Amino acid sequence: MSKDIAARIAVSELEDFMRRVLLRCDTDEASAEAVTQALVTASRMGTDSHGLRLLPHYVQAVQGGRINGRPNPTFTQRLAATGYLDADDGFGHLAGYQAVEHAIELAETAGIGAVAVGNSSHFGAAGCYALAAARRGYIGLSLCNADALVSLHQGQSPFHGTNPIAFAAPVPDSQPYLLDMATSSIPWNRVKQYRAINRTLPANVVVDAQGELTTDPHMAASLLPLGGADFGFKGAGLAGMVEVLSATLTGMIHGFRMLPMTGEDMSTPRGVGHFFLVMHPGAFSDRQTYERAILAYLEDLRAQPALEGKQVMAPGDREWQCQAQRDAEGIPLDSANLAAYRQLAETLGLAPPVLA
């Protein structure tokens, strides 16, 4: 077992513990199920920064009143292929999965469905929702704005959020093609995760309070946009695109003025915006053409020669390898997460999770 791994937990046990925790916090069953599905999906694929590590934060947010644990989301179809979902300050995970379902319904008749979401909250890993569309045979895109943690290119202070972009496409008889990326150099949750285990960050991804590059997670004050110090205009531009689709379409607060995800105020809703696009592959040529083409593309991609000791992989390949391993061996918990889960169980009067 790696020195960073204190224990492992089976997928089913993690799901059971998360549901028990959330229901004990007076969330409704739909919210508890959506949060559990999203967090476990992320951790199975190796994205712990947006998976199991977030459970204690969500407990704090729903108990403090920031998140409505029993929301009444309302959907309004605007045009033939567009709609708006008011999340009623509920969990972003519930809003995300519901928005994708509405977008699929629109795409069934119009070939494409776009749903903007307002009055929402943090929704974890953006890939969960694009993946939900791909699992149903559709192409999915999910975007979300966030509080300011990322400096503008050549800027002195944070302006954009990590503003993720996720894209998934179905692949016949195989796992979907899945791209899930922040428009920052790394996610801020990665900084927090590395702080918790005192692990050094990669170079050229964060700066300190003086704007100087650092690899010390305890000194990190701002993320650099994707592309780093030299080419950060690319990440900053993508972050702006996400901001327009997530915040301006819904009239939500943009990231620079949004309450931070962490902090003393856990009672005021944050007004997060999301955007989801679902496309029917058969709406552009025909389904068989799409399936032949994506199989040929991925076959050519994976057949390309790799550098010595390396492997050419399609987006999602690493995640599916990790998922298979974790499904078999259990999902790892580092010492900080293990302690946090045990504390949750004690505080809420629940049986602690059974470790693998």
Q: What pLDDT does residue 49 have?
A: 85
305: Cβ contacts below 8 Å, ≥ 6 apart: 312
pLDDT interval class at 356 (50, 70, 90): confident
Q: Are 216 and 259 in contact (CB under 8 A)?
A: no
pLDDT interval class at 3 (50, 70, 90): low
- Interval 133-162: pLDDT, tens: 999 999 999 999 999 999 999 888 899 999
Residue 251, phi then psi, degrees to nearest 5: 70, 20
Least confident of 63-77, 127-141, 206-220: 206-220
- Interval 303-351: pLDDT, tens: 999 999 999 999 999 999 999 999 999 999 998 899 999 999 999 999 9
The residues spanned by each domain of the chain are 7-348
Which pTM was predicted? Answer: 0.95
pLDDT interval class at 2 (50, 70, 90): low
- Interval 223-276: pLDDT, tens: 999 999 899 999 999 999 999 999 999 999 999 999 999 899 999 999 999 999
- Interval 15-42: pLDDT, tens: 999 999 999 999 999 999 999 999 999 9
pLDDT interval class at 4 (50, 70, 90): confident
* Rounded-to-integer distance, Cα 289 and Cα 240, Å: 34
Was domain 7-348 assigned CATH 2.60.120.10?
A: no
**Gap between the terminal Cα atoms of the chain:** 12
